[in-house]
Structure 1
Amino acid sequence: TKLTGKALENFRANANYRQRKCRLNKRKRLINNKPPSSFQNCQSFAVIQHLAQKYDLIPKPVQQRTCAHISDKIKNAVHKFYLRDDVSYQLPEENKGIIISCSSFADLRPPFVVAKAALAHRICVCIYHENVNLLLKAIDKFVKGNVCSSLQQFTRTLVCNTVNQECMFLACPLCESNFQEKVIDNVVNGATRIKWRQWVNINGRAEKKEFEGSVDETVELLKSKVKYFLFHVYVKSVQAA
């Protein structure tokens, strides 16, 4: 029989009422009768299991996972790797015969070898090279010749031989006065005001700052950096050999 009008409205109202009552009864059953997977039952099972293991009623679980033992040979190899002057970062496949995880490699780091992440924020440039290079760019057009055109040309101009320790340590009598003769004596318009930049450490952070002064003042600043610059260039070349 097809319901219409008032009869259809009553049927729908009764159906909604029965559905609401059914959901309410189901909710009450779930609250009063918790399923076996409830948190409380899990806790009870854990307590029973612990007591059974304590009184040897059931065997205790055996830990299956074992930590790989690192031999003293590998530890010594990692330690020596950390101490190498020519290594400043991890080199994958540098030692293919040694198998070690990244975490174990980090654990074996000597305390005096500081991780880069723990250092103050610094740019990834060599400050000896970069600061000299910035000064050369500033005075290049005020020095006759191509003496200051590049770091390589500047280095070759200052010394007789770039692989000779005496030359690079400014102990060679043949080239110890090259800076005076090749740079200072060839400066033109030394009183001209110019600007240059240098990397400086400010509160543990490397920043590039701009300076202003005469060409002569800039040349004197460059002269003060030559000794450490040449020493650094020589040491790095020896380490890389």
Structure 2
Amino acid sequence: MTFTPEQWVSVIQTEYPTVVLDPNPAQPRKQGVEEPLLRSVFQQLEQTFHSLSQHAPPEIAAYTEMALHVASLLFSLGAAPAGWKKWLALSSFGYFLQHDLHSTYLYAVLADEWAFLAMAPKQPSKSKQTDIQCFEKLLGVRAEVDHQLPAPDMRALYEEYEGYGYNDYCVLLTEAVPAQDYEQVETCLIRIYEAWAHIDWDHSTPELYPEFEPVPCALAALAYQAGYRPRHLPDQVWRFYEPGLAGGASQNFYQKYFGS
């Protein structure tokens, strides 16, 4: 990797003044958008930016969080993918500078920064969460996950009497994606979504970020990158996974900003 904290901060300082945050979005992705709250959040973000601009050396962690917040706002307010993916990429680069490889991977995947990911060190996290381990396995930085499924010849009985849960479907996804079993991929994505369905994920909370669930969305992004395309995915499920299923050609922001 060939960029410094100063170079990365310079990019943010150049890009942030060009960001357009509309307190009256025409087609927001979240419900219940409130203009007074949005204006308050925008003002706090502006104050944060100007405060950070006065610090030397740069506060990498604070700039990273700011970049992620900008990405989240652009996504929830209805911006085109290229806009919020740029800021997800910038947040990924910030996490890389902090040696947080898990967050580096997570937001680089959602930003379609595949060339950057190819150059990044390959190291699994110490997380015991099954969904995180499954994300790392699909990404190719972890060999196995701790959560084990029954042997294939016992799975029908297990599903009938025990029932698969969230962790089971995450593991099943790590089998279905490389096998290109896209019907099973879609089933897994629907079942994984059902574990989040009771949470009010579709309501606007602009003061919090990101306004999407990064790990499930990153699992969907890796399935999409491997060739999966939604077939019969219900609309609300697609909207839940939109950060991972938005697709499109990689913008290769790493090369754009730091390439020779």
Shared fold by TM > 0.5?
no
TM-score range, shorter chain: under 0.3
Q: Which has the higher helix share?
A: 2
* TM-score (norm. length: structure 2): 0.23
Q: Which has the higher strand share?
A: 1
Larger radius of gyration: 1
* TM-score (norm. length: structure 1): 0.24
Which is bigger in relative contact order (C-alpha 8 A, separation at least 6)? 2
